[in-house]
């Protein structure tokens, strides 16, 4: 049995590793477009900021390590076509430009995403970057460390844009974030993003909301950013306008894609074509609380779904329990985290919901360094089941959202979580934890 894996970062290498653990005789070939395998891309902002000065720390396993597990690894090799009726893939060696065919018994598609880069005027000036791959990170860090680079403009206020803003702030740059919509980090509701925006501004970041970038001005290197409202100096621009599934090469293959180009899969990671699996950011993912497929490109889903794909390729029939869209981000001195439905989701899904937004604290006032925690909950109005939770604060926020994630996963009501026995000791939590206080505030 030969498995071909297209894309060797999160889902792809999770699948390959799981298959090898379950069937050490399986033949595995991995084609990866980039120069690195199996890295934690979410660590890139902290490499750019210099908080981590060694990019190899982001690499979970190297080519050599995977090879010693018995896999054939091909870096800088791009799969340009899949032909399911012949069980073939067409591969281009990006170094030699040679194109060749390879045959699979099972195929795993794990190509992730490509950054969305609209055709801006002046878009080909130097020092206009993206941050997606490890290579991007190395290039961006070099650019940021370049002489005279002081004004950094970040276009797009999503996770990557805001993490990059912090990284650039950490490097002492003048940082401006330009965002088309009326707020940043749109997977959070406004109650929470208001807090994040205040923190960014408090840290000296210029925040331009409701503003559309029209193009870039400069002779060779970018010098200015032009928007529909003004012109801003820029020695370096990061485009972080979101990502799209890297599935263009599947055109004509017969493998079904969603409207945005994500591979359609079931909860066993099977596409519509026999023996073809997909997972990770190039594919949809089952959302447990929404009870429908969604497009949520996060490393958490990619790793879990990749592992399940590997097990199922080995002959298992494991279904993914489903994502909750749990996500966290550090915004300077603030933690933000979310899980389940946002209020925007609840409106879109015509949920009969109720919300609370409660300020409490990480621990009692009788232990030093008490800090506030804001929690927003979205609950079903009739059953009082918790559907979503979001929080912000200086510390102890992310793991509390994990507490809600388990409660949402287990379909608990606010009332039940409000009486669940959580730990209490003054350095860590109150006798009624912030989680209890928010849960018990649901009307």
Active site residues: 42
Which of 298, 313, 341, 437 is in the footprint of its own copies by CB under 8 A?
Answer: 298
Q: State in angstroms the smallest separation of the CB of 356 from its own copies.
A: 18
Please identify, using beta-carbon distances, which residue of 174 and 300 lies nearer to its own copies.
Answer: 300
Residue 67, H or E segment: helix 63-68
Q: How far is CA 214 from CA 81, 151, 231, 273, in A?
A: 35, 18, 10, 42
Single out the residue of 247, 312, 339, 342 in contact with its own copies (rule: CB under 8 A): 339
Candidates 387, 429, 438, 442: give the one binding its own copies (CB under 8 A).
Answer: 429
Which residue, 148 or 368, has its beta carbon nearer to its own copies?
A: 368
* Binding span for its own copies by CB under 8 A among 63-71, 86-94, 120-128, 303-311: 303-311
How far is CA 322 from each of CA 186, 208, 285, 300, rounded to the nearest angstrom? 21, 36, 7, 11
C-alpha–C-alpha distance, residues 245 and 252, integer Å: 16
* Residue closer to its own copies (CB basis): 153 or 429: 429
Minimum distance, C-beta of residue 202 to its own copies, in the bound complex (Å): 18
- Shorter beta-carbon distance to its own copies: residue 200 or 327: 327
Output 259 or 423, the one with its CB closest to its own copies. 423
Residue 346 CB, shortest distance to its own copies, in Å, is 18
> Hey, which residues between 378 and 407 contact its own copies (CB under 8 A)?
396, 398-403, 405-407
Q: Which residue has the tokens 């281009």?
A: 92
Nearer to its own copies (CB atom), residue 64 or residue 366: 366
Residue 428 φ then ψ, to 5° = -120, -30
Rounded to a whole number of angstroms, the minimum distance from the CB of residue 252 to its own copies is 33
Query: Hey, what are 421's tokens?
Result: 């026995």
Residue 301 near its own copies by CB under 8 A: yes
Q: How far is the CB of 71 from its own copies (least distance, A)?
A: 20
* Interaction of residue 186 with its own copies, rule CB under 8 A: no
CB of 136 to its own copies, least distance (A): 16
Q: Which of 191, 107, 225, 140 is nearest to 391 (CA)?
A: 191
Give the one residue of 72, 174, 330, 344 binding its own copies; rule: CB under 8 A.
330
Question: Binding of its own copies at residue 304 (CB under 8 A)?
Answer: yes
Among positions 104, 216, 249, 320, the unique one binding its own copies when judged by CB under 8 A: 320
Classify each residue of 391-411 as buried b or exposed e, where b means 16 or more C-beta atoms within 10 Å of its C-beta.
bbbbebbbebbebbbebbbee
Q: In Å, what is the CA distance from 206 to each residue of 162, 179, 194, 239?
A: 12, 11, 14, 16
The residues, ordered by sequence, that sit 6+ positions from 427 with a Cβ below 8 Å of its Cβ are 363, 367
Residue 288 binds its own copies, judged by CB under 8 A = yes
Most distant CA atoms of the chain, gap in Å: 70
Give exposure, 153-173, as e/b (b: 16+ Cβ within 10 Å): bbbbbbbbbbbbbbbbbbbeb
Candidate residues 25, 95, 219, 366; the one interacting with its own copies per rule CB under 8 A: 366
**Cβ neighbour number for residue 148 with a 10 Å cutoff:** 8
If binding means CB under 8 A, how many residues of this protein chain bind its own copies?
67
Q: Which of 32, 189, 199, 335 binds its own copies (CB under 8 A)?
A: 335
Q: Is 314 in the site for its own copies (CB under 8 A)?
A: no
SS3 344: helix
For residue 421, state whether it binds its own copies (rule: CB under 8 A).
Answer: yes
Cβ pair 312, 18 in contact under 8 A:
no
Which window, 185-193, 274-282, 347-355, 365-373, contacts its own copies (CB under 8 A)? 365-373
Asked whether the beta carbons of 247 and 282 are under 8 A apart, the reply is yes
Site residues for its own copies, window 41-100 (CB under 8 A)? 42-43, 46-47, 51-52, 57-58
- Which residue is associated with the tokens 């401006």? 176
What is d(CA 108, CA 4) in angstroms, rounded to the nearest whole number?
6
Q: Which of 226, 229, 198, 202 is nearest to 214 (CA)?
A: 226
| Interatomic CA distance for residues 232 and 223, integer angstroms | 9
Q: Name the residue nearer to its own copies (CB basis): 206 or 424.
A: 424
Residues at the contact surface with its own copies, assessed by CB under 8 A = 10, 40, 42-43, 46-47, 51-52, 57-58, 288, 298-301, 303-304, 308, 320-330, 335, 337, 339, 364-368, 396, 398-403, 405-407, 409-410, 412, 416-417, 419-429, 431-433, 435
């Amino acid at each position: 049995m030969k498995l071909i894996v297209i894309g060797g970062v999160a889902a792809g290498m999770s699948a390959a590793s799981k298959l090898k653990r379950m069937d050490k005789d399986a033949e595995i070939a991995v084609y990866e477009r980039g120069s690195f395998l199996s890295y934690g891309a979410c660590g890139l902002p902290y490499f750019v900021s210099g908080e981590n000065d060694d990019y190899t720390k982001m690499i979970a396993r190297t080519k050599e390590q995977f090879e010693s597990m018995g896999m054939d690894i091909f870096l800088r090799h791009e799969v340009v076509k899949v032909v399911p009726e012949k069980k073939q893939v067409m591969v281009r060696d990006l170094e030699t430009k040679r194109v060749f065919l390879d045959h699979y018994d099972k195929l795993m598609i794990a190509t992730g995403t490509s950054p969305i880069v609209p055709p801006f005027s002046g878009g080909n000036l130097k020092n206009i970057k993206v941050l997606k791959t490890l290579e991007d990170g190395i290039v961006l860090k070099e650019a940021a460390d370049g002489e005279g680079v002081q004004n950094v403009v970040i276009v797009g206020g999503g996770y990557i844009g805001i993490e990059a803003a912090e990284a650039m702030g950490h490097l002492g740059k003048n940082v401006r974030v330009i965002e088309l919509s009326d707020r940043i980090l749109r997977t959070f509701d406004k109650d929470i993003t208001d807090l994040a925006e205040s923190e960014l501004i408090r840290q000296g970041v210029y925040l331009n909301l409701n503003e559309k970038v029209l193009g870039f001005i400069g002779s060779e290197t970018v010098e200015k950013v032009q928007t529909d409202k003004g012109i801003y100096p820029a020695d370096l621009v990061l485009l972080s306008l979101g990502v799209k599934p890297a599935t263009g090469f599947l055109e004509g293959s017969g493998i079904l894609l969603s409207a945005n180009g994500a591979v359609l899969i079931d909860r066993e990671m099977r596409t519509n074509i026999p023996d073809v699996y997909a997972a990770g950011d190039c594919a949809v993912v089952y959302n447990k609380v929404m009870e429908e497929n969604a497009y949520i490109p996060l490393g958490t889903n990619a790793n879990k779904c990749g592992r399940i794909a590997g097990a199922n390729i080995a002959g298992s029939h494991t279904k993914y329990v489903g994502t909750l869209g749990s996500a966290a981000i550090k915004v300077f001195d603030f933690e933000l985290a979310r899980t389940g439905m946002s209020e925007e989701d609840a409106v879109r899904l015509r949920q009969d919901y109720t919300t609370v937004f409660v300020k409490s604290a990480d621990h009692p006032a009788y232990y030093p360094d008490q800090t506030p925690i804001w929690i927003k909950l979205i609950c079903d109005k009739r059953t009082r089941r918790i559907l979503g939770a979001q929080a912000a604060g200086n510390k102890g926020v992310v793991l509390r959202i994990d507490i809600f994630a388990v409660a949402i996963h287990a379909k608990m009501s606010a009332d039940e979580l409000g009486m669940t026995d959580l730990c209490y000791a003054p350095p860590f939590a109150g006798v009624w934890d912030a989680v209890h206080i928010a849960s018990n505030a649901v009307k």
